Amino acid sequence: MRHRVAGRRLGRTGQHHLAMRRNLVASLIQHETISTTPEKAKEVKAFAEKLITLARKGTLSARRRAIAMLGNRDIIDYEDGKAVKKGTIIGKLFSEIGPRYLDRPGGYTRIIRLSLRRLGDNGRLVLLQLVGEDEGSKKQTRASTKRASRRKAKQTAEAKETVDVEEAVEAELVSGADSQTEKTDRRQ
């Protein structure tokens, strides 16, 4: 019986499981989206969200805890055939990703199921992504769309009123100009 045993073994030893989880989260932070199996994605999601919550705090102790949990791997890009160091995973986590989610109470990642299957073993694939900064929760989205529609309606009403006022002013100016021309015509 597995009473009070949390997490998934994924057919690996403890050290292999920990290394796999760290590598997947580091890749998620570096690329902001990864393709993996549903089981691995579900296991990694909670770990990634804990690290992002630490990054939101931004303190030195939070940074040290994140390094202890994840390690501090370098981000390497290849330019002109040469390896160039672009920074570290913890640096990107605390400088870019943490501040991006300051207003978000949780749910920093999402899992999108793909119809594709892995070529080697025909395993199911999913995308594990960091949620974009412009995407809010459903409640926030609904509320913001209601506010936006009200704002648009108000702006169109104000625009109609402005157009009506402008048309009235133009009509008065035109009629005033016509009456002026009639007066000058009568005098001559």
pTM across the whole model = 0.69
Q: Write down the domain spans for the chain.
A: 14-132, 137-188
CB-count burial class (<10 Å; 0-12, 13-18, 19+) for 126: buried
125: buried, middle or exposed (CB in 10 Å: 19+, 13-18, 0-12)?
Answer: middle
Chain-centre distance of CA 83, in angstroms? Answer: 29
Q: Return d(Cα 179, Cα 109) in angstroms, integer.
A: 71
Average pLDDT, consecutive stretches of 10 residues, N- to C-terminus, the chain (188 residues):
88 94 96 96 96 96 97 93 94 96 94 94 96 64 65 68 70 66 57
CA–CA dist 132, 26 (Å, integer): 18
Specify the DSSP class assigned to residue 80. T
In whole angstroms, what separates CA 162 from the centre of its chain?
Answer: 38
Q: Which residues lie closer than 8 Å to 141 by C-beta, 6 or more apart?
A: 135
In this predicted structure, what is the pLDDT of residue 134? 62
Name the CATH code of domain 14-132 (choices 3.30.70.380, 3.90.1030.10, 3.30.70.20, 3.30.360.10). Answer: 3.90.1030.10
pLDDT of residue 167: 74
